[in-house]
Amino acid sequence: MGSTVVEKIFSRKCQRQVSAGDVVMAPIDNAMIHDITGPLAIRKFYEMGGTHVSDPEKVTMLFDHQIPADSIEAAENQLFMRKFAREQHINNYDIREGVCHQVTMEMGKAAPGEIIVGADSHTCMYGAGGAFATGIGSTDMGFALKFGALYFRIPETIRIVAQGRFARRVGPKDLILSIASDIGADGATYQAIEFTGEAITSMDMAGRMTCCNMAIEMGAKAGICPPDAVAWDFIRRVRALLSIRYSSGPARTGGSRISGMLRRSSGTGSSRIMSGSLSYLLQGRNT
């Protein structure tokens, strides 16, 4: 039996074959903290005896929830995080760039085959780019900052197969709301939701982000779209633009090797498949 996309990502990161239900310590490719949950995560980092973050380049910091600061406490928290960023040589986007999840994607911080964590429940949005991305608590984030890795129980997968094309005035938001209605608020608890089918592969990255963002609304650990040309074109393009903007050298991709690994098996692994009930949203084939 083949593996799911999530199982393949963790197998590659752990350098051994792993399956849903296994508990593993896996390296983190990027950790995102913002102005609400970040201060507590930093305090937990210090409580664990942290002195230097594992890899400053793998930390994304920004402020987007309380900007401008709407209280003395909020202002103090932002000052606290700015000081931490300076001391740890972390690139702090501060209040300049926008909403944390959009910034993470547009700054090329989530690519196919990577493992991303964020101190925010909607971190699952980065699965649109083919990454395993999940929200974690502040204590876990403190651990990730110190060690650059985290324990995970590899989730089972619910595979959504959405065929056909959207009817007029119907789009990705309508699709994911329909899926959430079918699965329920806790129907995917601690599982990954894998979005597949013609309706997904024909979406742009914005549509995929919309679907993956709402995986948490069904209790899911992660939402993910198997990486394809759309995902790789996006990540190459944003990293190339950032290479020019910050003069930081050539964009890092490695796409063909990772994509090949993620596509290698056609099996479903530890997954269950949902299809058919979504067809009333779509027109064309399989409706």
Largest CA distance in the chain: 58
Domain boundaries, position 197: 5-283
The pLDDT of residue 80: 96
CATH label of the domain that carries residue 167: 3.30.499.10
From first to last of the 287 residues of the chain, give the pLDDT tens digit. Answer: 689 999 999 999 999 999 999 999 999 999 999 999 999 999 999 999 999 999 999 999 999 888 888 899 999 999 999 999 999 999 999 888 889 999 999 999 999 999 999 999 999 999 999 999 999 999 999 999 999 999 999 999 999 999 888 888 899 999 999 999 999 999 999 999 999 999 999 999 999 999 999 999 999 999 999 999 999 999 999 888 776 655 444 334 444 444 444 543 345 566 666 544 344 455 544 43
What's residue 261's pLDDT? 46
Whole-angstrom CA distances from 254 to 26, 114, 258, 272 are: 20, 11, 7, 30
Helix (H) or strand (E) holding 117: strand 115-118
pTM (2 d.p.): 0.86
**What pLDDT score was predicted for residue 59?**
96
CB atoms within 10 A of CB 266: 6
Report helix, strand or coil for 71. coil
CA distances for 42 relative to 122, 140, 284, angstroms: 20, 11, 51
Report DSSP letters for 136-185, one per residue. Answer: --HHHHHHHHHHSEEEEEPPPEEEEE--SEEPTT--HHHHHHHHHHHH-T
pLDDT tens-digit map of 172-193: 999 999 999 999 999 999 999 9
Q: Kindly give, in sequence order, each residue whose CB lies less than 8 Å from that of residue 245, ignoring residues fewer than 6 positions away.
A: none
Count: domains in the chain:
1
What's the confidence (pLDDT) of residue 241? 78
